Structure formats: structure tokens, C-alpha cells
């Protein structure tokens, strides 16, 4: 009960600090709000949400946690999943990279445009920490892709180690320090057209402190906070600004 109360209080603090598209003075961020954030999704995600419910009912476990608990507490909510789908649909990236443990639910939202509507995607890669989640994510993805007879996973190329990421999703782990470990390892792959999406930025006070520290990095020119998720941009033509958008 106490945790639920604290989360409500945390959300109210975020909501009062946030704004909508009105009053935004950055054309780039305004377009994001208008054409992505506040647009409805035009796809059916019932299969993905059924996969989530199967995980929540599962008794499968890794060394660190149960799949049920991870799917219920760590995996992004459906509304954030739908946002991932709209981000990919609007910006049409040719490469999507995921870093950190995930169940494959977020992956299916990220890849749904390519799997269902055949949006062009040349490269998809994922780097997990835990072999257990590597297996879970792969099975979840393959089940979704096979349902639509998609060959995306078999045809996707491996991104050259010197190529830049277009959309990179960094999954928040148990330890907030993992943010920095992953960022330091892959930051050389982020360019002016890259978007770094960070999940679960409010898992703990340490996670949120680290998120705010990352928004202050000199190479980050714009940041968007969306309560549980944050987005960093590296556009050199962008005046450095921080945005809290209600979602």
C-alpha cells in the first residue's frame, strides 16, 4: 500500500512539473509531441499483451528473479510499448539496438511496424546481460514474428562495429549503475541523428538521479522525461533544453 501511495505521489509531482505540446519552443520537440507522443496507435497489440499475461502467470525463474515478477514490475507498461511503436513508425530508423535484459515485450512493440507492415529495417540487434533473458526475449520475438510469417529476424544484418545506432533502447536494470556501464560502453555509437531511449528511470532514487545526470552530459542537447521513460537526443543544431512532457 505504501509503495502504491509513493508512486501516485511521484506521478503527481511529475505531472505538475510537466507540460503538453502547448508552450514548447523547440520545433523538433513540438513535432515529437504532436506527431508521436499524443497520436493514437493504429495497430492491434492484443497478441503482445497476451504474451505479457502469459509471462505474469509463468512460474519460470532465472537466478536473479522470476519471469512473472519481472514482466509485472520491470517490463514497460502497454502505453509505453505503444509509444515505442509510434516512435519507430514516425522516424523510420534503419537500425534498432536494445541493450540490457528485457522480456521481448518491448522488442515486439519496437519491431511491430516492420513485422506487420513491412516497414524497412536493415538492422536489429540486442545485447542482454543474462542468458536467461536472452532466451526469453528470443522466444517472445520469434512467436510474434512467426504469427505474421515475418522473416525480419532471419534477414536482419549485423551492424558494423563502427556504424552509429539510430534508435538505441537502454533497459533499466536492478542496479542504477548499469546505466553508466552500458552508456560508457556504447556511447561512441551515438551520433547527431541518434535517439537513446532509457526505460524505468524511476525504478529507484538512484535510477532517477542517474537519469538527471545523463541529461546534463555535454553531448546531450535535448532530453524528454515521460515519467517511467526518458529520451536523449544528440542533435548539434539543437539548443540544449530539458523537457518534461505529460504522458
The pLDDT assigned to 56 comes to 96
Pairing outcome for strands 229-233 and 95-99: unpaired
**Domain count of the chain?**
1
Q: What is the pTM of this model?
A: 0.93
pLDDT at 155: 77
DSSP letters, 190-217, are EEEEEEEEEE-TTSSHHHHHHHHHHHT-
Structural domain boundaries, residue 127: 2-244
pLDDT score for 2 = 47
- Predicted local confidence at residue 174, as pLDDT: 65
For residue 1, the model assigns a pLDDT of: 47
Neighbours of 122 (CB within 10 A): 14
Q: What are phi and psi of 16, to 5 degrees?
A: -70, -30
Strand pairing class (165-170; 241-244): unpaired
165, HSE (Cβ side, Cα atoms, 13 Å): 24
In the prediction, which pLDDT does 36 show?
Answer: 97
pLDDT at 175: 73
Low pLDDT (below 70) residues in the chain: 1-3, 173-174
Distance of alpha carbon 215 from alpha carbon 32, whole angstroms: 18
CATH number at residue 181: 3.40.50.150
Residue 181's pLDDT is 85
Amino acid at each position: 500500500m505504501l509503495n502504491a501511495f509513493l508512486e501516485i505521489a511521484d506521478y503527481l509531482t511529475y505531472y505538475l512539473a510537466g507540460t503538453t505540446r502547448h508552450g514548447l519552443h523547440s520545433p523538433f520537440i513540438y513535432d515529437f509531441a504532436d506527431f508521436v507522443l499524443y497520436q493514437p496507435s493504429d495497430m492491434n497489440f492484443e497478441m503482445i499483451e497476451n504474451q505479457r499475461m502469459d509471462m505474469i502467470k509463468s512460474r519460470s525463474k532465472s537466478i536473479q528473479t522470476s519471469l512473472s515478477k519481472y514482466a509485472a514490475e520491470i517490463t514497460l507498461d502497454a502505453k509505453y510499448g505503444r509509444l515505442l511503436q509510434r516512435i519507430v513508425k514516425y522516424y523510420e530508423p534503419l537500425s534498432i539496438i536494445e541493450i540490457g535484459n528485457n522480456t521481448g515485450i518491448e522488442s515486439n512493440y519496437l519491431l511491430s511496424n516492420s513485422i506487420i507492415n513491412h516497414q524497412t529495417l536493415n538492422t536489429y540487434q540486442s545485447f542482454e546481460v543474462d542468458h536467461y533473458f536472452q532466451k526469453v526475449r528470443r522466444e517472445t520475438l520469434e512467436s510474434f514474428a512467426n504469427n505474421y510469417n515475418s522473416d525480419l529476424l532471419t534477414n536482419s544484418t549485423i551492424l558494423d562495429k563502427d556504424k552509429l545506432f539510430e534508435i538505441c533502447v537502454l533497459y533499466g536494470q536492478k542496479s542504477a549503475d548499469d546505466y553508466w556501464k552500458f552508456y560508457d560502453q556504447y556511447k561512441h555509437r551515438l551520433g547527431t541523428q541518434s535517439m537513446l531511449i532509457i526505460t524505468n528511470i524511476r525504478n529507484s532514487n538512484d535510477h532517477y538521479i542517474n537519469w538527471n545526470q545523463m541529461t546534463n552530459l555535454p553531448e546531450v542537447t535535448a532530453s524528454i522525461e515521460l515519467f517511467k521513460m526518458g529520451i536523449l537526443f544528440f542533435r548539434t543544431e539543437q539548443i540544449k533544453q530539458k523537457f518534461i512532457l505529460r504522458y
